[in-house]
Amino acid sequence: MAITPGLAETGFFGSFLATFDQAARHTKHNPGLLDQVKYCNGVYRMRFAIRMEDGAIEVVEAFRAEHSHHRTPTKGGIRYSEDVTQDDVMALAALMTFKCALVRVPFGGAKGGVRINPQRCTVGQLERITRRYTAELLKKDFIGPAVDVPAPDYGTGPREMGWIADTYRMLRPHDLDALACVTGKPVEQHGIPGRTEATGRGVCHAIEECVSVAEDMKSLGLEPGLARLRVVVQGLGNVGYHAARTLQERGATIVGVAEREGAILRPDGLDVDEVLAWRRETGSLLGHPGTESFDRPEACFGFDCDILVPAALEGQIHQGNAGQIRARIIAEGANGPVTTEAEKVLLEKGVLIIPDIYCNAGGVTVSYFEWLKNLNHVSFGRIGSGPQHASSAVHFSPASEELEHVRRSLADTMAFAYREVRDTWRSRALPDLRTAAFVLAIDKVATNYEAVGIFP
């Protein structure tokens, strides 16, 4: 996907720095400590050669950034994209630090990026690149169950995470906890049920918590609850699809969706699974029966709706299109989908933005559950007390029981975190939810740095 016009404004990393500085002004921490919390602790840029099927040699550029070691291991996804840059990876790693802090997941933030177009690679090429990238990370101690734990991001998924785990185990055969070196693995390779859907499902829970507050909905001219709300989703990848499907199941009406080929609109509601099936069959969303089609994906920003879920890439909503948005709430399913300039326009219009560092934290929350499962070498619910068993008895639970455990825990985590963010917003009279989320997260990270006594 081409770099969007919005990234030419402040830039993704610049937007993060501006947001951090704005939030930091509402804290009372030492300026030196804030400087420590703001910037990445370590960035590893690498280039490595891969032999292709025809014998040609291709050089691949890749990155791994570790933002904060106030908690270890660090945690964050790996992005495969031709457009990924070192600044992108640094910004995403920083967001991960604050995301983990908000949902009380004991990780520092990290992120990885490999500059390739996965759609133009064969499966064999992707496997060689992934395994070599893993080996390069291991050389510099940028991966390990107690060091840095990757996960999927844009352009990667369970398959790639499985390759990473297998490569790590081959190179560290005596590490009993080797499987905890990466999360988002296939369930058959010691992953956890519910990880694939987690980010999208977490977006739904975030929206559900937001719209349950009658006072806030009244100020937007909306009724509380999902039942009457109309939703537009930009991006039908893993996050967008699961967010749309879960919202639909809980009573919201999906009136529009967009992908790279364009956007479709049906005011009386779409069935997300039918739309996805149509796209798989025809190669495009456009022309889906009963819908109005638009050949520009950004047309979805002008659709009449209550909630807009940008679930694609950063910088999608920028100064050039922010004025078109008709939604009253934006739920950031992607990282950094709204530029700094666009946010000013939207806030002036009275739009409520549910920020990415909270809204899409479902993925890292369930990754935490997977990491714990791998370290403990046992599934959730397998050891526990049954009605006629001692507390140490072995209880064999079906996968469905583990999935329900994960889903309940995710819902509880997102609900608690939203209440903390909103309480910070209101009690400290902060200008918006994003500022409140950053203030809360900065407080948590800075306090932890001070508590562990890192200063000689």
CB 178 within 8 A of CB 168: yes
Residue 2 main-chain phi, psi, to 5 deg? -70, 155
E strands, 184-332, are 230-234, 253-259, 262-265, 292-294, 307-310, 329-331
Element (H, E) at 295: none
Total residues belonging to the chain = 456
3-state secondary structure 385-453: CCCCCCCCCECCCCHHHHHHHHHHHHHHHHHHHHHHHHHHHHHCCCCCHHHHHHHHHHHHHHHHHHHCC
DSSP reduced 3-state for 214: helix
What is the Cα–Cα distance from 14 to 34, expressed in whole angstroms? 17
CA angle 315, 82, 57 (to 5 degrees): 170
Active-site residue, selected from the candidate residues 28, 75, 99, 111: 111
C-alpha distances (whole Å) from 97 to each of 6, 432, 446 are: 24, 20, 11
Answer yes or no: 111 catalytic.
Answer: yes
Task: Please give the DSSP secondary-structure letter assigned to residue 51.
Answer: E
Active site residues: 111
